[in-house]
Amino acid sequence: MSRKTFYTIAIFLKLNYLVLLTILPIPPNVQKGQTISSVTKSSEKYMF
């Protein structure tokens, strides 16, 4: 898998996560959300 594909998936996941956060006031699984956000944050370091 190329880096570009990985970044696209990471951004896509982050956007979906942000949409879910706006729809659901309290995420059903906060720990899972924190894992996703930490993964996207670590991928952002490489992107910018």
Q: Which residue has the tokens 């896509």?
A: 12
Provide CB contacts within 8 A for 10, sequence distance 6+. 39, 40, 43, 44
Cα separation, 8 vs 21, whole angstroms:
20
Mean pLDDT of 30-45: 64
Q: Give the pTM.
A: 0.37
In eight-state DSSP terms, residue 8 is H
Task: For residues 6-17, give the mean pLDDT.
Answer: 86
Q: How confident is the model at residue 36 (pLDDT cuts 50, 70, 90)?
A: low
Dig out the tokens for 30 from the structure. 């906060």
The answer to whether 44 and 7 have CB atoms below 8 angstroms apart is no
More confident site: 41 or 28: 41
How does the average pLDDT of the chain come out, rounded? 71
